[in-house]
């Protein structure tokens, strides 16, 4: 899967952008170039959607041979779009809790959970994602609100990467080669057990009381790359926001931003 979001509203961490990218012989690509590369890998089995200059979503269809064996889903509902990879072991329990149809799949459930958080609260976002059991990664784009919500499971079963394109857009994908080619040195693994919201920044849903720190990363060539992000076990936030139903859940505490 591939998602590209314009920097104006995605607000990626500054540490992802390596100064080495502009000085290296291999420079970051524009979003449209990265999209074309992704589509060219499986030209007959790839689906994409463009939202003007705001966002692009693409994924390789589930029946594509010689690709990942992980389940891949793409769902759209009420102007909310979800790319999902992996599986939830407790999906049946979750859909009962939310009162959803038995035919609900993982990406449909994530959209419903997102809508519940966005519209009805007061559930803390970290607790909702922490309740998901399985190997998973998802990217949600709310085209009405213009927001991005991404999370990666804590077990390491699914890999996810993110980086910065030539125009400053944030690129998120499970395809490491696409990320490397599109973002040059300005990329890093998305941290396990963490979630990112374009308004609230990056935080750990496993350890929400702890801050996220950017750790310098040097590649095999000795060149500085986009930073790794890790939970700081010694540094804790001052408080955990528990918003009421009258408050938008996306307004996470600034302490969660790296």
**219 or 59, higher pLDDT:** 59
What pLDDT score was predicted for residue 253?
Answer: 40
Give the DSSP letter of residue 145.
T
Give me the chain's average pLDDT, please.
85
Burial class (CB in 10 A: 0-12, 13-18, 19+), 230: middle
Lowest average pLDDT, out of 47-56, 97-106, 204-213, 239-248, goes to 239-248
What pLDDT score was predicted for residue 8?
Answer: 87
- Per-residue pLDDT for 242 more than 60? no
Q: Tokens in use for 205? A: 């849903």
Instruction: List, in order of start, the domains of the chain with CATH numbers.
Output: 2-256 (3.60.20.10)
Rounded to two decimals, the pTM is 0.86
What pLDDT score was predicted for residue 29?
Answer: 94
pLDDT in tens, 25-66: 688 999 999 999 999 988 888 999 999 989 999 998 887 666
H-helix segments, the chain: 7-10, 20-23, 31-41, 91-97, 106-119, 125-130, 176-183
Q: Is 228 helix (H, G, I), strand (E, B) or coil?
A: strand
- Per-residue pLDDT for 121 more than 80? no
CB 236 within 8 A of CB 257: no
d(CA 52, CA 41): 23
Mean pLDDT in residue range 73-80: 94
- Per-residue pLDDT for 140 more than 90? yes
CB 75 within 8 A of CB 63: no
């Amino acid at each position: 899967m591939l998602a590209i979001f314009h920097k104006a509203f995605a607000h990626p961490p500054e540490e992802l952008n390596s100064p080495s990218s502009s000085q290296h012989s291999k420079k970051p690509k524009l979003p449209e170039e990265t999209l074309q590369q992704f589509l060219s890998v499986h030209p007959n089995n790839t689906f994409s959607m463009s939202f003007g200059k705001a966002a692009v979503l693409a994924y390789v269809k589930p029946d594509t041979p010689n690709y990942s064996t992980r389940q891949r889903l793409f769902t759209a509902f009420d102007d909310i779009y979800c790319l999902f990879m992996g599986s939830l072991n407790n999906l049946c329990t979750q859909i009962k809790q939310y009162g959803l149809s038995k035919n609900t799949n993982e990406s449909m459930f994530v959209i419903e959970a997102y809508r519940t958080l966005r519209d009805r609260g007061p559930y803390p976002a970290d607790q909702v994602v922490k309740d998901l059991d399985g190997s998973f990664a998802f990217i949600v784009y709310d085209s009405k609100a213009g927001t991005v919500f991404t999370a990666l499971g804590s077990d390491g079963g699914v890999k996810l990467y993110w980086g910065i394109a030539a125009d400053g857009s944030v690129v998120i994908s499970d395809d490491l080669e696409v990320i490397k080619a599109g973002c040059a040195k300005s990329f890093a693994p998305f941290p396990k057990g963490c979630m990112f919201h374009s308004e609230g920044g990056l935080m750990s849903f496993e350890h929400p009381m702890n801050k996220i720190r950017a750790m310098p990363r040097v590649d095999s060539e000795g060149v500085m790359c986009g930073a790794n992000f890790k939970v700081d076990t010694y540094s804790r936030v001052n408080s955990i926001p528990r918003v009421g139903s009258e408050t938008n859940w996306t307004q996470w505490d600034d302490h969660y931003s790296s």
